[in-house]
Amino acid sequence: MSRTMSAFTIIILASAFFIIIAPAASAYQSTEILLGYSFPRMYTTITVHLTKLEISDYPMGNVYTTTPLDRVDWIRLWYRYENEGDQTQEGYLKVELIDSNGNVYEEPEGTYTGENVGPHSVSSLNFLEFPVSKGAKITKIKSIQGFNEDIYPVPEPGAATPTVTPTATAPAAPSSAVTATAGATAKSSGSGNCLPLLPFAILGAVGLAGLAAGKISIKK
């Protein structure tokens, strides 16, 4: 009887836990813009593929900002490397995002995009994450390779994948309204709306297990 009651208690608590978590998970919003841009990495056999831009109201990586979070959107630039050569090469990416007001968002401090890619192979799908001003409209992606800078226009959401040739541009440095104080490149094979809730789910599961064990021991 005691074990039956313990199991019933666990079911009730677990149901309540997920009833609370589910609405919070569905509250997160994100929009994806397909890019389809590719360019060679200088002095290597690596081609960089910019696949999509994701606009979200929650972070997925280890990027932090001193700006209050209610004034921040999170932009993720998804990319991968392709090595077309016969030797292992290191892929590397340095970009800046530019919004419709001319604000420039640099890669967060501490970001590292280097990755070794074997001959005739493609890396996993990775992303760079930028905190930007709430409601900022990103219109350009600037690729930087030494003194060479290329601009890739960002299409409107829902537009067809662009085939526009990138245009070279002179350096420009208007300051962004949001500052990233530290960060690291995160890697993922897909989006995860529930990632920010994972620690709470783990704590909840541990708590439920402890509760069940305590009830059984008390009954004994």
pLDDT, residue 64, reads 85
Task: Please identify which residue in the block is written with the tokens 């419709």.
Answer: 100
Residue 47, pLDDT > 90, answer yes
The ranges assigned to domains in the chain are 1-28+194-220, 29-192
Q: How confident is the model at residue 62 (pLDDT cuts 50, 70, 90)?
A: confident
Q: Which CATH architecture has domain 29-192?
A: Sandwich (2.60)
pLDDT tens column, 136-191: 999 999 999 999 999 999 998 866 555 444 544 444 444 455 655 433 333 333 33
For the full predicted model, state whether its pTM sits above 0.75.
Answer: no
pLDDT, residue 178, reads 64
Structure tokens at 111: 């970001």
